[in-house]
Amino acid sequence: MTDHWAEVGGGVRDRIERVRFLNTVLAHWGLRLDDWGNRVYVLRNWKGVGKPVPDLGKLWVIAEQLNGGPLDPLDPALIERLSQAAA
């Protein structure tokens, strides 16, 4: 596993918070990120198919693979969902 810049200097609590936020985003496409023992991420689709994610830099590529196509982070429905979650 490699260190990604988004994880440098973070502790267990930071990692838990990252996974929580990422799941808010990924749920829009029926995806879920799990953290196994604060060492390995596993991304799963709604069918239960999972793939290991070595670092956050590879998360989006693997998410698109599991989704079977591109994910639009500017999707208006996603932005609305995140706005409601933040309120």
Question: Quick one: the chain helix, strand, coil %, rounded to 5?
Answer: 50, 15, 35
Question: Structural domain boundaries of the chain?
Answer: 5-86
Q: Give the pLDDT confidence of 5-50 residue by residue, as tens digits.
A: 556 566 778 888 889 999 999 999 999 999 987 778 999 999 999 9
pLDDT for the residue numbered 38? 77
Cα distance between residue 75 and residue 41, in whole Å: 25
Which backbone phi and psi does 65 adopt, to 5 degrees? Answer: -65, -45
Contact 67, 29 (CB under 8 A): yes
Contact 18, 8 (CB under 8 A): no
Decide if pLDDT at 66 tops 80. Answer: yes
Beta bridge partners of 35: 41
Of residues 64 and 84, the one with the higher pLDDT is 64
